[in-house]
Structure 1
Amino acid sequence: MIELTGQAYRRGCQVVAATPAGTALDAAVQQTRGVVVRVPVDATPVGAAGYSDDSAFAAQTAFWPLFTALLAVTGACGASGFTPGEGLAGLDAVADRLDEASARCRPAADAYLNPAKSLAVAIAGTIPVVWGAGAVAGVAAERFATMCTGIAATPALSGTLPTAGRFQDRVFEAGPAGAPGDPDDFFRDRVDDAAPVRMYPVLLVDHDDPAAAPQLDRARRTLDALGQSAVGDVTARGGGPVERLAELIAITDFAAAYLALGTGVGPATPGLYSWTEGGPR
């Protein structure tokens, strides 16, 4: 990103960036006389004086401040419908969708009524294979896999259908990871066998994407043929694409946090890298 900023400046292009104050990108854009839209995310290096758990959590959950700023920037450039003034009212709908998802996924909600808790329970102890049906769901799938790994220390795969279904279905053919090498050895000491970890398919669906329905149908038929049953679909309907993306991300972010708590991993623990070094997101 810093290199791209320099290249744009040398070619006479003005750079606009959404970034926390104090980052290398902030400094680079200012040096090239660009425009910086600063977002309220802590940029204090890990281990520095004053670095707290709260600021670490802010760095890990910086997606929405950055995303909102980028929507404003693209709108001002005419690249999206989120133009200054009335156009940004669309963000109110996104905020409302996030509020609704937060109410459904709140900690006090019973697991059978809480889609995030149900998802976390289903994938606990597995390696989730997250497939998105529709372009928006594909973005959410990648985000969920990243959150599973970065927040809950759970390895995960992700992809957008139909491509993901053509290649990642091989992981289900391989069987559970860590399964004993000789299942026919009746007399072996099974106490020493490692507990197998199986791949678990998760489907995220944008029902307003016309391509999602055939993609979803093909994915289910593929999984059925492999003897797999996917987690009950995490779905979004209605509103604009950003609203549906917000709902899918909100539910799966909650699920990653519940997964971390359920497995004893602190979701607010800072990583090895500070924000300015490209660390926790």
Structure 2
Amino acid sequence: MSISELTTYSTIIIETFHEEGGTGTGFFFDFNDADLGNTDKLIIVTNWHVIENSSTEQLIFTKIDNTGKPIDTEHLTIVLDNFESLWIPHPNHEVDLAILPIKSILHQIPENFYFGAFDRSHIPTKEGLENLCAIEEVTMIGYPHGIWDESNNKPLIRKGITATNPRLDYCGEKEFLIDIACFLGSSGSPVLIYNVGQYLDGADNHYFVSYRIVLLGILYSARYYTSEGKIKVVKIPAKKKQISMTDIPLNLGTVIRAERILDFEKYI
């Protein structure tokens, strides 16, 4: 399987059940560097605000056949009660992240499932971050407005650029901005650098590679232009009707740096 196709198995749709309904994006991350594919240290990452105050939600996994290949059109739909209590919030409650260890719900998943997971090697080191260009093309994977390929359990792929220098902490926070369409349902989407064939680094050195994937971070908020002529920053909601119809998206998203995921390792 190509790396681009494998990446489309890295996310999972999170659906809520309540009067308004809603969707969010989660993605798989594996802390088990020595045995990738083992679910002991496999987690789902999303924003805390996606699952906050949710009592019942569902996750939709892709089935796997006896040869290890995904069965795209056959799904495992898992309904989970007391949903918020299953998630672990980031130790710094000002960081809008949460994780769900797969081992905690494995007894509720009746069959094995197929997934593609990011791991530590995809998160840029300090040196790797310093070698990034001031302007990078980015790819975002998720479920904007709850739109997805329901038959094949596949997310949508969107493309944009960094709106602030990805090497720098935007306004002193471990965040940066991207110029990309951001809608409800996109919260929790992984934001990547995805290069095929070649790329330039921050010093304009030219590299030829088969591919390069860098997990830069996780989308969590966007900016809107209101009818009163003001700009407001909102966490991209999972629930519908939480953004006024008169608010105009500026297509500027705020991304939490991927290194924040590593803060969860001691809880796994």
Shorter-chain TM-score: which interval? under 0.3
Rg larger in 1 or in 2? Answer: 1
* Greater RCO, 1 or 2 (C-alpha within 8 Å, sep 6+): 1
Higher strand share: 2
